[in-house]
Amino acid sequence: MIKSIEKILNVQIEKESYSSHLYLSMASWAEAAGYEGISQWLYVQSDEERLHMLKFIHYVNERGGNAIISAIKVPPAKFDDVMDVFQKVLKHEEFVTASINEIVALCNNEKDFTTLNFVQWFVAEQIQEEKSARAIIDKLKLLGKQNLYLLDKDIMAMRAAAEPVGGVA
């Protein structure tokens, strides 16, 4: 495996691991605050990020590289409110999308079309991840606080109806 590709994929492993940790922290905050649906959405999101991390780990190892498991930085534990949480989810997903795009650019530079093909799944996934965060923010903007209870139930139903994420590579 090309060294520069192995390096950038290991950086991505760390980012996906942090994403899982960040959403776990948000889920725990929401659960403690009594938002059952929102916490469930975030717990599942955290699990999905772990699957993303595993996809990268397996890919690096299967292609003859060495996947590195590094320390995860501590995520924030306190949030102002539900809007604050989802704005941070969106901001984080935009950051991850930029990272995936950097991998795509490097694959093109290095003419690594195998990794380019592998990473296409993540390009498509990022569109969905940003879309769901924006959809929830839009709903939050429409609602007053008294309706948060109903939104909480609505989000739980969204998660239940969602397509399961693709299996581990």
Give the residues lining the site for ligand FEO (CB under 6 A): 16, 19, 49, 52, 93, 96, 129
Q: Which is nearer to ligand FEO, 52 or 88 (CB)?
A: 52
Q: How far is the CB of 158 from ligand FEO (least distance, A)?
A: 16
Residue of this chain nearest to ligand FEO (CB atom):
52
Q: Smallest distance, Å, CB 41 to ligand FEO?
A: 13
Please identify, using beta-carbon distances, which residue of 16 and 152 lies nearer to ligand FEO.
16
Q: Could you tell me the smallest distance in angstroms from the CB atom of residue 49 to ligand FEO?
A: 5
Q: By C-beta, is 105 or 150 nearer to ligand FEO?
A: 105
Cα 137 to the center of its chain, rounded Å: 16
Q: Which is nearer to ligand FEO, 7 or 50 (CB)?
A: 50
- SS3 percent helix, strand, coil of the chain, rounded to 5, is 80, 0, 20
Amino acid identity, position 28: S
Instruction: State the Cα angle at 73 between 68 and 74, rounded to 5°.
Output: 145
Of 36, 33, 44, give the one whose Cα is nearest residue 80.
33
- What is the distance between the alpha carbons of residues 54 and 72, in angstroms, rounded to a whole number? 15
> Nearest approach, Cβ of 17 to ligand FEO (angstroms)?
10
Sequence length of the chain is 169
